[in-house]
Amino acid sequence: MSTQDIVLDREGLAEVPVIEPGHTLASVTEKISDIVLVRPLSIGWVAGFLACASLVGVLGVAVGYLFYKGTGIWGINIPVGWGFAIVNFVWWIGIGHAGTLISAILHLLRQSWRNSINRFAEAMTLFAVMCAGVFPLIHVGRPWLAYWLFPIPNTMGVWPQFRSPLLWDVFAVSTYATISAVFWYTGLIPDLATLRDRATTPIPRFIYGALALGWRGEARHWHRYESAYLLLAGLSTPLVLSVHTVVSFDFAISIMPGWHTTVFPPYFVAGAIYSGFAMVLILAIPVRAVYNLKDMITERHLENAAKVMLATGLIVAYGYILEIYMAWYSGPKSIDWFTVHNRFFGPYAGPYWALWICNIIIPQVLWIKSVRRSPFLLFLISLVVLAGMWLERFVIVILSLHRDFVPSSWGMYYPTKWDWATYFGTIGLFLMLIFLFVRVLPMISIFEIRMLLPEAEAKHK
């Protein structure tokens, strides 16, 4: 992009535009909808889709064998009864947080730059929550009993334990999934109507027509749409903070050293947004290159995402340091100090220090402006952050469990090939859904981008 195209915003500060000049209302519509309706299938897309679909096959085999044999095929055993399933669940749910933050909170704060990445981020959120949802359903080992998670009237005459954070978790995640899906779909309706009107063959016209729910673009429709969207944004906003807070309660409510910490809720939320923005960058950077969308997902978007990562990464660092401080403050003979000492020098010191390098040390290069504006470097750093956030959950879950109060109940945890197959399988599932999404739905919100154009601005006033 050319940095000469400087516009002045309301405060008169120079800013890089959120959309490159030269677009008209028609050209925006055409460009985004043509990706879905006109663009032929490329070899790259088919190859990528098939590669991800085969990973989903791996997931199918891993889950099928799990249901046949039971959770004994995983590496879990006493004392480490929570292994990859919970690590991956928390990781995926965290990744899902960026979508709602971008679409709801930034919408309420009138950050119009979010218009070109919100659709995309919300889709990512939904798919991440789906991947997360796989783990609670399969970790019971007997999936036909997975409905026990929910308070459904049953012949056993018992309810789930309402005092357990694991049940709060079920509510938090299912609420989040529902609201995210409704929010996403509501935002899609005007664009689905655009696709319906632009499609030329009967099957897409039928499908998009049915999904558009009779949208005609009347003033009345827009009025109701705006109210509904604002209300949903208001509903989603507390969820951004509450969901990962409740997930952190799974740990913090227990009395396990390494889990029983009041700093968990804020630092889980920050970590979730941290990994979520990393995933947004990992997806946005290749997509804007492949589909030639650099004029809509500009370097300003990348830079803003990098700034969010930098800020949330520092909150996460604060959490890590506070854990060490609290252990030190508890005294050298406390179990907390033992836990920290064990993290530093114990059998899992490798993952622990890798966590520091990935999550805290490497991302500090984001202070440099040229790094924030380099898509290639941002892509690499985002990968490092995702690895770091996964390690964080590994450290929290495994390292806290493997050294108990009593040395006789110490043990080690080694993930099996089935653990890895399930984990990589969900990554395949996630990417496969993303591949489908970019080809069947407008990955950038057409009408919200049109609002960013000078023509629209003039009519508003």
CB of 225 to another protein, least distance (A): 15
Q: How far is the CB of 164 from another protein (least distance, A)?
A: 14
Question: Taking the complex as a whole, how short is the minimal distance between the CB of residue 318 and another protein, in angstroms?
Answer: 41
Q: Which is nearer to another protein, 162 or 345 (CB)?
A: 162
| Location of structure tokens 């090939």 | 417
Which residues in the 128-157 window bind another protein by CB under 8 A? 153-157
**Contact (Cβ atoms closer than 8 angstroms) between residue 452 and residue 115:** yes
Q: Which residue reads 């990935």 in tokens? A: 358
Q: Is 158 in the site for another protein (CB under 8 A)?
A: yes
H-helix or E-strand containing 169? helix 165-198
Give the nearest distance from C-beta 178 to another protein in angstroms.
15
Helix (H, G, I), strand (E, B) or coil at 77: strand
Residue 263 CB neighbours (<10 A): 17
Contact 170, 136 (CB under 8 A): yes
The reply on whether position 221 binds another protein by CB under 8 A is: no
Q: What is the 3-state secondary structure (H, E, C) of 2-52?
A: CCCCCEECCCCCEECCCCCCCCCHHHHHHHHHHHHHCCCCCHHHHHHHHHH
Quote the least distance from Cβ 284 to another protein, whole Å.
Answer: 34
Closest to another protein by CB, 84 vs 215, is: 215
- Report in angstroms how near the CB of residue 223 gets to another protein at its nearest: 17
Of 307, 309, 313, which Cα lies nearest the Cα of 359? 313
Identify which of residues 27 and 154 has a Cβ nearer to another protein in the complex: 154
Site for another protein in 168-197 (CB under 8 A): 196
- Are 402 and 412 a contacting pair, CB within 8 Å? yes
| HEC readout, 170-239 | HHHHHHHHHHHHHHHHHHHHHHHHHHHHHCCCHHHHHHHHHHCCCCCCCHHHHHHHHHHHHHHHHHHHHH
Q: Residue 159: CB partners within 8 Å, gap ≥ 6?
A: 151
Please, which of residues 322-361 interact with another protein by CB under 8 A? Answer: none
Residue 443 and residue 225: Cα distance in Å, rounded? 19
Q: Which stretch binds another protein (CB under 8 A): 136-144, 207-215, 296-304, 341-349?
A: 207-215
Residue 80 φ/ψ, nearest 5 degrees: -95, 85
Candidate ranges 201-209, 307-315, 333-341, 416-424; the one touching another protein (CB under 8 A): 201-209
Shortest reach from residue 135's CB to another protein, in Å: 25
CA distances from 285 to 110, 120, 362, 427 (A): 24, 12, 19, 18
**Measured from the CB of residue 382, what is the shortest distance to another protein in angstroms?**
41
Q: Which of 239, 306, 317, 236 is nearest to 277 (CA)?
A: 306
- Between 167 and 451, whose beta carbon lies closer to another protein? 167
Tokens of 412: 């080690």
Taking the complex as a whole, how short is the minimal distance between the CB of residue 214 and another protein, in angstroms?
4
Q: Which residues does 179 contact at the CB level (< 8 Å), separation at least 6?
A: 100, 232, 235, 236, 239
**Torsion on CA atoms 195, 440, 288, 190, rounded to nearest 10:** 30
Cis peptide before 265 (omega within 30 of 0): no
Is residue 216 at the binding interface for another protein, with CB under 8 A as the rule?
Answer: yes
Q: Which stretch binds another protein (CB under 8 A): 53-61, 66-74, 198-206, 394-402?
A: 198-206
Q: Which is nearer to another protein, 147 or 344 (CB)?
A: 147
202 makes contact with another protein (CB under 8 A) = yes
Question: Do residues 303 and 373 make contact, with C-beta atoms less than 8 angstroms apart?
Answer: yes
Residues 58-77 that bind another protein (CB under 8 A): none
Specify the residue, 14 or 156, whose C-beta has the smaller distance to another protein: 156
Q: Least distance to another protein from the beta carbon of 193, Å?
A: 10
- Whose Cβ is closer to another protein: residue 207's or residue 314's? 207
User: Which span (1-9, 96-104, 200-208, 431-439) binds another protein, by CB under 8 A?
Assistant: 200-208
Give the binding range for another protein (CB under 8 A) out of 210-218, 300-308, 323-331, 387-395.
Answer: 210-218
* Nearest distance, CB of residue 205 and another protein, angstroms: 5
Residues contacting another protein: total by CB under 8 A: 16
Q: Determine the interface stretch with another protein among 15-23, 118-126, 212-220, 280-288 (rule: CB under 8 A).
A: 212-220
Q: Which of 94, 209, 257, 425 touches another protein by CB under 8 A?
A: 209
Choose between 215 and 264: whose C-beta lies nearer to another protein: 215
Residues that bind another protein (CB under 8 A): 153-158, 196, 200, 202, 205-206, 209-210, 213-214, 216
